[in-house]
């Protein structure tokens, strides 16, 4: 369950970072529209909220919120480093995260 919540947290932050035009163009090399920005921002916040709820369901409110912030920190650093040094690698790593979360469900 923690792997799923962490994967959802990763996807949420990745979507929020892609809501910035600079990062979106770094990753996908496509044109950026305002409508897409609002959609991707809303989805990013939605995934962050879902991951927070999953952590709280698993560990209770006190520990769940603490673990959520604890998982948040390395994910943010990881995405920031990838965007800085290897922006094209993000899509491959995201596919790997998706695959690992599906395997953890089974």
pLDDT in the model for residue 55: 96
The first and second tokens of residue 15, run together, are: 């979507």
pLDDT in the model for residue 29: 81
pLDDT in the model for residue 79: 92
E strands, the chain, are none
Say how many C-beta atoms besides its own lie within 10 A of residue 81's C-beta.
10
User: How far is C-alpha 82 from the geometric centre of its chain's CA atoms?
Assistant: 13
| pLDDT tens-place string over residues 47-104 | 999 999 999 999 999 999 999 999 999 999 999 999 899 888 988 888 888 888 778 7
Query: By C-alpha distance, which of 74, 47, 52, 73 is closest to 63?
Result: 52
pLDDT in the model for residue 66: 95
Say how many C-beta atoms besides its own lie within 10 A of residue 50's C-beta.
16
């Amino acid at each position: 369950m923690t792997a799923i919540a962490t994967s959802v947290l990763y996807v949420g932050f990745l979507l929020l970072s892609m809501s910035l035009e600079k990062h979106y163009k770094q990753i996908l090399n496509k044109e950026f529209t305002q409508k897409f920005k609002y959609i991707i921002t809303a989805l990013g916040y939605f995934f962050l909220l879902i991951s927070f709820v999953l952590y709280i369901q698993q560990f209770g409110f006190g520990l769940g919120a603490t673990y959520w912030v604890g998982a948040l920190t390395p994910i943010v650093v990881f995405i920031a480093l990838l965007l800085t040094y290897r922006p094209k690698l993000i899509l491959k790593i995201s596919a790997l995260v998706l695959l690992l979360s599906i395997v953890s469900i089974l």
